[in-house]
Chains A and B, each alone.
Chain A
Amino acid sequence: GAGVSQSPSNKVTEKGKDVELRCDPISGHTALYWYRQSLGQGLEFLIYFQGNSAPDKSGLPSDRFSAERTGGSVSTLTIQRTQQEDSAVYLCASSRGILQETQYFGPGTRLLVL
Chain B
Amino acid sequence: QQQVKQSPQSLIVQKGGIPIINCAYENTAFDYFPWYQQFPGKGPALLIAIRPDVSEKKEGRFTISFNKSAKQFSLHIMDSQPGDSATYFCAASKTSGTYKYIFGTGTRLKVLA
Contact = CB atoms under 8 A, between A and B. Distances in A.
Interface string A24-60: 0000000101010000011111001010000010110
A43 B99 contact: no
A53 to B, nearest CB: 10
A103 B43 contact: no
Contact of B93 (A59, A101, A104, A106): A101
A59 B91 CA distance: 16
B24 to A, nearest CB: 14
Interface string B27-59: 000001010100001111110010000000000
Interface of B: 6, 32, 34, 36, 41-46, 49, 89, 91, 93, 95, 98-106
Interface in A4-24: 4
A79 interface: no
